[in-house]
Structure 1
Amino acid sequence: MNRVLLSTRKGLVELSGRDGGLHYDKTHFIGDPVSVTATDAEGRWWAALNLGHFGTKLHRSEDRGRTWREIAVPAYPEKPEDPDDPNTWTLQQIWCLEVDPKVPGRLWAGTIPGGLFRSDDYGDSWVLNEALWSVPERKGWFGGGYDQPGIHSVAIHPQDSNHLTVGVSCGGVWKSHDGGDSWTLVGEGLRAAFMPEDMQFNKAIQDVHRLVVSPTDPNRVWVQHHNGVFVSSDGAETFTELEPEPSAFGFAVAVHPTDPDRAWFVPGKKDEFRYPVDLAMLVNRTNDAGKRFTAQREGLPQEACFDLVYRHGLAVDDTGDRLVMGSTTGNVWFSDDGGSRWQSVSTHMPPIYAVAFAE
């Protein structure tokens, strides 16, 4: 473990791993909201900034954050006159960035309002994936936590870069086997309890909060949904709904790098509340594909706690032992034993949107 990157409302905070823990190092883009970061094995870092009135910006470092250069952002074409399409065609936020480890230069960006973009030159230029943008169901996508729909999860098959699985809020789960030239709506068994009863199993309106594919068994797919935790054993074609206590609501998912049946979730009280159940923080872990969940509380606040962990606010490193978690109230925790015990890293960071381990 060398570095942890925190994407926060007031900059990109860099933590260094030493003395058995995590320690503050520096802040990049201080004062600016950073929505998400990405890194590759050669030391490139990417940071997406969401500057509100001044728009979305994207920066790349070639030297692990020592210097940065602004690069292109994904851009939508001009919206045609279409009364059936209620969504905007203007970039509002880069919600996820994924580096393809097998194709040099290739990145995928999931955005609000629901566009998927690809770059083959390390982010110097971007192309909208027209095939997904053109599926008829997209006009029925709608916003979950934001007013517009968004793509927050892009999972690249570990053996096949042409095999992609995408999570949309609210628009369900989509798969491509040809690099994005065509897409199939999947996710039989996902259930949207907030919809009328006759629409709850409609795959095209599911509010997937986060989707993660196991790196060693791509058939194992984990989803934290608005109203449940779901697991798939057939590559997201079908899902089984699980019932973790004390709540199935949450945003974040982390999956063990070598054990597809082990995953972590951060439950909360849903809808208008969005704080820990009984104001007591916990992380749920399953070691058996969701048959049982263990509430991990040691080192986490158990009273007067209002922390919420966003979709990308929980990460596990390549060992499967070290986890880091950041919250909306600026708390950061670290575990080096698979989440059994947590230690506080900071209690006074800005609100944290995403966390990531960096080489």
Structure 2
Amino acid sequence: MGQRAYLGTRKGLFQCDLDEHGGNTLALVRFAGDPVSMLLHDSRDGALYAALHLGHFGAKLHRREVDGELWQEIAMPAFPARPPDSSDTFDWTVQQIWSLAAGGADQPGMLWAGTLPGGLFRSNDRGDSWQLVESLWNVPQRAQWFGGGYDVPGIHSICVDPRDSDKVLVGVSCGGVWQTADGGASWVLSSTGMRADYMPPELDENEAVQDPHRIVRSQAMPDMLWCQHHNGIWRSQDGGHHWQEIGGAPLSHFGFAVAVHPRDGGTAWFVPAQADVLRIAHDGALAVTRTRDGGQTFEVLRNGLPQRHCYDLVYRHGLALADDGRSLLMASTTGGAWYSIDGGEQWQTLSAHLPPVYAVCFATL
């Protein structure tokens, strides 16, 4: 059985069909010329969501129904008016949707969205309306958040616990890890164990200024989470309450993307890069690293990836793993795209000439 995948790029939405023998088709299917900043395929009802970042025209959100061809523009998350006496220095305007996640299986229609600046929004009607999660927006520690790569902080990772849909974990750059156990009514800071080399030594363990570049959760082992941090790889085995730094990763601890096996929480993939201002593939050669034993050892996977004069960077949402635990799709800011049908052992080039890629996702055929 084949896999269908989508790539959100600076110049539109691309669709790719991959077969089990390594064949593929690739086509620009929607939003030609428009930046597609985020994608979500909702496996509960088959809908596909695409967020657009249109500059002067603002951010937009579109939905396509399962097996449909027509896209419908739906509501965008929006902040309330900023109180006149607010000391907040950030503009309360959604600049971009930086993450989208479906609610639990028992929450039909529930969606979560993370934005720049760092707002978390919830929809109960498949994106037809949105509400700011004010309990997180109003935490006192938000005054310490700052931009990591962007001028403002943003929420890029949203992890719903498959055992309890009221338990949600989010990652903020730069604002650390936050959790709710009551559907968003209250939040606790949950970055214990992380450290930030970019801060003065006396502040490097401050939980509210950590920069978790990306956080993912294993669906079958939901207490196992992996984080690619600005200056390291971290793992949690207790649902994100405590984090352990993983030493010994080859090439570099820096990177953005991480994927975890849906049924084996000890297996995860990373895309190392050179930090900080370089933001390029390590030594001009693209590689993916994989651990299959919870971070005790790592393999470097290069077969089929460019190994000379390669300066590609893979963003936070530029690496996706299909539900089969074997099919991987990876795409870069330089317009390169690669896929693997064997867990990364061998990669095939999908394209070397796409627009810069912001997000990729798989969808069930």
TM-score, normalised to structure 2's length? 0.96
- From 71, 74, 86, the counterpart of 1:71: 74
Aligned in 2, Cα 1:116/1:303: closer, same or farther, shift over 3 Å? same
**What is the identity, as a one-letter code, of the residue corresponding to 1:185?**
L
Aligned counterpart, 1:348: 353
1:252 is the counterpart of 2:253: no
Aligned counterpart, 2:91: 88
**What is the identity, as a one-letter code, of the residue corresponding to 2:340?**
S
Q: Is the 8 A contact 2:254 2:275 kept in 1?
A: yes
Q: Give the distance between the partners of 2:346 and 2:51, measured in 1 at CA.
A: 32
Q: Give the distance between the partners of 2:27 and 2:360, measured in 1 at CA.
A: 15
Q: Is the 8 A contact 1:45 1:65 kept in 2?
A: no
Q: CA deviation at 1:64?
A: 3.9
Q: CA deviation at 1:82?
A: 4.7
- The secondary structure found in structure 1 opposite 2:126 is coil
Aligned counterpart, 1:285: 290
Q: CA deviation at 1:23?
A: 1.6
Q: CA deviation at 1:139?
A: 1.5
**What is the identity, as a one-letter code, of the residue corresponding to 1:253?**
V
Q: Is the 8 A contact 2:82 2:92 kept in 1?
A: yes
Q: Is the 8 A contact 1:4 1:356 kept in 2?
A: yes
Q: Give the distance between the partners of 2:130 and 2:94, measured in 1 at CA.
A: 12
Q: Give the distance between the partners of 2:313 and 2:49, measured in 1 at CA.
A: 25
Q: Give the distance between the partners of 2:265 and 2:108, measured in 1 at CA.
A: 26
Deviations 1:22-73 (A, max 9, x none): 3213321110000011112322111100001100010111134511011100
Q: Give the distance between the partners of 2:7 and 2:96, measured in 1 at CA.
A: 17
Q: Give the distance between the partners of 1:245 and 1:88, measured in 2 at CA.
A: 40
- Consecutive unaligned residues of structure 1, counting only runs of 5 or more, are none
- The secondary structure found in structure 1 opposite 2:294 is coil
Q: Is the 8 A contact 2:179 2:188 kept in 1?
A: yes
Aligned in 2, Cα 1:283/1:343: closer, same or farther, shift over 3 Å? same
1:1-359 residue pairs with structure 2 within 5 A?
1-18=2-19, 20-41=22-43, 42-64=45-67, 66-82=69-85, 84-102=87-105, 103-243=107-247, 244-359=249-364
Aligned in 2, Cα 1:238/1:101: closer, same or farther, shift over 3 Å? closer
Q: Is the 8 A contact 2:12 2:28 kept in 1?
A: no
Deviations 1:56-95 (A, max 9, x none): 0101111345110111000001112356422221100000
Deviations 1:267-319 (A, max 9, x none): 00011100011101100000011111111011011110000000000010111
Q: Give the distance between the partners of 1:15 and 1:169, measured in 2 at CA.
A: 30
Deviations 1:117-147 (A, max 9, x none): 0001000000000100010001211000100
TM-align CA RMSD: 1.1
Q: Give the distance between the partners of 1:80 and 1:283, measured in 2 at CA.
A: 47
Which stretch of the first structure deviates more once superposed, 23-32 or 265-274?
23-32
Q: Give the distance between the partners of 2:321 and 2:25, measured in 1 at CA.
A: 17
Q: CA deviation at 1:108?
A: 0.2
Q: Give the distance between the partners of 1:247 and 1:64, measured in 2 at CA.
A: 42
For this pair of structures, how many residues does the alignment match? Answer: 359
Q: Give the distance between the partners of 2:296 and 2:117, measured in 1 at CA.
A: 36
- Consecutive unaligned residues of structure 2, counting only runs of 5 or more, are none
- The secondary structure found in structure 1 opposite 2:143 is helix
Q: Give the distance between the partners of 1:83 and 1:131, measured in 2 at CA.
A: 16
Q: Is the 8 A contact 1:87 1:139 kept in 2?
A: no
Which stretch of the first structure deviates more once superposed, 94-103 or 202-211?
94-103
**What is the identity, as a one-letter code, of the residue corresponding to 1:9?**
R
